[in-house]
Amino acid sequence: MSGRSASLARRQRRFRWVVITLVVAFFVLPLLGALEFTTRELRTGARTGATWATLVDVNKVSTDYPALKEGFLYSIGLSLITVLIMLALLVPTMTWVRLRVPGMSRTIEFICLLPLTVPAIVLVVGLAPVYSWLSAWLTYFFGADIGESTLWLGLAYVVLVLPYAYRALDAGLRSIDVRTLSEAARSLGASWATVMWRVVLPNLRGAVLSSAFLAVALVLGEFTIASLFSRNNLQVAMFLLGKSDAQISVAVGLASLVFAFLVLFAMSFVGNTRSGTSPLSRWRGRLRKEPS
Amino acid sequence: MADRQRLGAPSGRRPGGALLGVVPFFLYTTAFLLLPTLIVIVGAFLDGDSRFTLGNLEALRSPAVTTALWQSVALSAVTAVVGAAVGGVLAYAVSTAPAGSLVRRFVTSLCGVLAQFGGVALAFAFMATFGLQGFVNLWLVDLGVNTGGGAWLYTWDKGLTLVYLIFQIPLMVIVFLPAVDGLRPQWREASETLGGTTWTYWRRVGGPILLPPFVGSLLLLFTNAFSAYATAAALISQGSPLVPLQIAASLNSETVLGQENVGKAMALEMVLVVAVVMVIYAWIDRRSSRWLQR
């Protein structure tokens, strides 16, 4: 018996290495191609680190590629805004629903998962009138600088990250006993605000962190909405740069992919991600109630 | 009043007061999710003067739009099937590695990046590899292959199929791995104790259990490719061979008189296709969760 299972294990190991090597080779080939392309002197074909030297030189980037710098900063700002609004919106609501109105939980879940079935491009079509109305009012009250700021895109990005953030936070809330914790705190005289801030939030640390990471990663990679609303962010800047300076834009793309990989790889070692699956598997894994 | 509410049991004696707590969430999602969806649905049936019309739906039957729809469906279906097949095998290969092993973390992280955050960056990486100046293209030219200057990469059927696979295969790994992980080694041992071969195991045990989640994941891949915009926009600069590109073109161009809401009609068409696929998916997923406790 043990001989047979040992031979099975051996066969599985060989199979595993062959399959993983082949498919990962396909994944890595374009990344290697990008690396090769960005380290080549295009006319002579010689190796050069010039493109990457430019990219790490902050001063040179801001003088030679102002749109890239601007887009990068907007993306950072947008990810901060998105994470803050997302947390402020979801954590209290989801906790409150668990404690006081459990009947609403299915409605909340349905709404949070809805963006998975509404493609971003469709959302753009529907958001266009909402945004033109919003920016008209904001311009009227605060002037065009504020009214037409790129950062308002964060409001739409919150919708994009809803399903992912919901999954992460829901998993976190599931693993703690919110009711007992809050009852204990309330009977010791804590206000609801204290319960949220000093009891629920610290216990949700892991879930809050992973939902924030997912949101940041999604916002840094967002192209569709920003591009169609003619706003600048990292991806849009990269896209437009592709027309004039291919090497720099490919280098930026490669750098962002490698950065995202490193973040995810590091995250797979932290937290309670079960059986080493990617944190992304948690949200897509269970998707029961879809609109019908 | 406030004090009474504060002292009340968490289950809430005053449901009206408790409901106030979810108002911000509903206001926000109404403004930025439900209202836009409604605008698309209603707008698809309105003309430029906000009067009811079926003219936009008529426009959906124009050759450009039907071709785009057919090409979108074909591209999504092909990349979903190939992606599901390759990704399924890869997911199984990964599942035989011990939980928490380095190879597993490496592959799942790589898949997470490629499936979710690629878009423009991946399209550019492909251009840098297979395009006119790409090293694969240069090699092929050296070998005497006529690549046409790498122009095939910028076509919806050849180029986009290849590029879409680099996020479809990883997405399959992410959504299918939990199902493969649900296969218990005991089932295989039981099958072997009863004299079953590897083939019998897959034919009679593993296959039937994995079939529903496999089909479900395949449907998710389909909707994923169908909704994708960034990759296609980065690669295709001439014409609009896919529905998302058609919608984008209708948003960017100055609208033709009487055609203001054709973009909304196309958007509605997309939502309907995705919704139908997702309903089938939800049904399959309910069935598959019977065996696999995730």
Q: What is the 3-state secondary structure (H, E, C) of A220-251?
A: HCCCHHHHHCCCCCHHHHHHHHHHHCHHHHHH
- The pLDDT score that the predictor gives to residue A209 is 87
Give one word for B12, left, alpha or beta, with left for phi > 0 and alpha for psi -120 to 50. left
Side-chain-side CA neighbours of A8 within 13 Å: the count stands at: 13
- Across the range B4-19, mean pLDDT stands at 54
Q: In sequence order, what are the residues at sequence separation of 6 or more whose Cβ sits closer than 8 angstroms to the Cβ of residue B247?
A: A121, A122, A124, A125, B263, B266, B267, B270
Nearest CA in chain A to B101: A276
Sign of CA dihedral B114, A110, A124, B65: positive
Judged against a pLDDT cut of 50, whether residue A289 lies above it is answered with: no
Q: Which residues of A touch B128 (CB under 8 A)?
A: 30, 33-34, 36-38, 246, 250
Nearest CA in chain A to B248: A228
| Closest listed residue to residue A171, CA positions, set A34, A284, A58 | A284
- Across the range B148-165, mean pLDDT stands at 86
Q: Give the model confidence (pLDDT) of A17-32 as tens digits.
A: 999 999 999 999 999 9
As a whole number, the mean pLDDT across chain B is 85
Q: Do B32 and A155 touch (CB under 8 A)?
A: yes
Residue B50's CB is within 10 A of a number of other CB atoms, namely 11
> Min CA distance, B290 vs chain A (Å)?
12
Q: Are A200 and A181 in contact (CB under 8 A)?
A: yes
| Closest listed residue to residue A135, CA positions, set A117, A149, A114, A123 | A149
- The pLDDT score that the predictor gives to residue B257 is 53
The residue behind tokens 């009852």 is A183
Q: Assign B219 a pLDDT band (cuts: 50, 70, 90).
A: very high
DSSP annotation of B254: P
Q: Assign B150 a pLDDT band (cuts: 50, 70, 90).
A: confident
A221 CB near a chain B CB, below 8 Å? yes
Q: Are A256 and A76 in contact (CB under 8 A)?
A: no
Q: Which residues of A touch B126 (CB under 8 A)?
A: 30, 33
User: A 171-210 residues with CB below 8 A of B?
Assistant: 179, 182-183, 186, 191-192
> Min CA distance, A59 vs chain B (Å)?
23
Q: Assign B7 a pLDDT band (cuts: 50, 70, 90).
A: very low
Q: Are B196 and B204 in contact (CB under 8 A)?
A: yes
| Amino acid code (one letter) for A158 | V
DSSP annotation of B204: I
Q: Which of B18, B36, B106 comes nearest A101 by C-beta?
A: B18
Question: Does the interface ipTM go beyond 0.85?
Answer: no
Q: Assign A3 a pLDDT band (cuts: 50, 70, 90).
A: low
| Amino acid code (one letter) for A19 | V
Q: Give the model confidence (pLDDT) of A107-119 as tens digits.
A: 999 999 888 888 9
Q: Which of A223, A267, A280 comes nearest B116 by C-beta?
A: A280
User: First CA to last CA across chain A, in angstroms?
Assistant: 50
Cα→Cα distances B55→A222, B43, B138, B173, B259, Å: 33, 11, 50, 43, 8
Q: Give the model confidence (pLDDT) of A139-165 as tens digits.
A: 888 888 887 888 999 999 999 999 989
What the block records as the tokens of B178 is 């939990």
pTM for the complete prediction?
A: 0.85
- The pLDDT score that the predictor gives to residue A285 is 42
- Across the range A77-100, mean pLDDT stands at 93
- The pLDDT score that the predictor gives to residue B160 is 92
User: A 92-151 residues with CB below 8 A of B?
Assistant: 92-93, 96-97, 99-101, 104, 108, 111, 114-130
Q: Give the model confidence (pLDDT) of B107-139 as tens digits.
A: 999 998 898 877 899 999 999 999 888 888 888
Bridge partners (DSSP) of residue A47 are: A40
Q: Give the model confidence (pLDDT) of A194-240 as tens digits.
A: 988 898 888 888 889 888 888 888 898 899 999 999 899 999 999 99
Q: Do A130 and B36 touch (CB under 8 A)?
A: yes
The residue behind tokens 């409901």 is B19
DSSP annotation of B50: S
Q: Give the model confidence (pLDDT) of A39-52 as tens digits.
A: 988 777 788 888 88
- Across the range B191-200, mean pLDDT stands at 87
> CA–CA separation, A152 vs A138, rounded Å?
10
Q: In sequence order, what are the residues at sequence separation of 6 or more whose Cβ sits closer than 8 angstroms to the Cβ of residue B199?
A: none
